[in-house]
Amino acid sequence: MSRSVRILDSGKLEITLANLRGLLSGLLSTLLENAYNFENYTVNKVEEEDEGCVGALNHDFEHIFCPQGRVHGPIELKGHGKGLVADVDILLAALADFLRDAVLQKWVSDLTAGAEHAEAVYVNPGLSQRRRSRSHHGRRRRV
């Protein structure tokens, strides 16, 4: 989570958000269903007055996705379903007003990494816990 974010232009961001939607839609059913509900999400108006729209959204996302605080490594998604996929719509709406905002684009990146990680964890739980390598023409390679 500490890596820097590359600011994407609108075309690349659109592709990245479509990819995020696909990843979140395709999370394995071994995750809890409806653990997240962003379908009727609205930014807390008091927070928005104090921190602005992006600050309030960032605060809410941190509270929901990182309740233990930011840690090294991908976000650990706890659920799947349309309530989670709806966070892409929230990001789309915010990015429509703040296209080049690093905080919003970082959330796109972090949620994408979290979705990719969740898929790998539930397909092969040991993969995220340690490095695996195998011989390939006499060389060792990370898998």
Q: Is residue 45 situated within a structural domain?
A: yes
Q: Is residue 2 situated within a structural domain?
A: no
Report d(CA 21, CA 66) in Å as an integer. Answer: 20
Q: Is residue 75 situated within a structural domain?
A: yes
- Whether 24 and 84 have beta carbons less than 8 Å apart is answered as yes
Q: Provide the residue-wise pLDDT of the chain in tens; the chain has 143 residues.
A: 456 789 999 999 999 999 999 999 888 888 888 899 999 999 999 999 999 999 999 999 999 999 888 778 899 999 999 999 999 999 999 999 999 999 999 999 999 999 999 875 433 444 544 333 333 333 333 33
Q: How many domains does the chain have?
A: 1
Residue type, 94: A
Q: What is the pTM of this model?
A: 0.79
Reading the block at residue 65, the tokens are 């996705």
Q: Is residue 1 situated within a structural domain?
A: no
- For residue 69, the enclosing domain spans 10-142
Report d(CA 123, CA 141) in Å as an integer. Answer: 20
Q: Is residue 60 situated within a structural domain?
A: yes
Report d(CA 43, CA 51) in Å as an integer. Answer: 11
Helix (H) or strand (E) holding 126: none
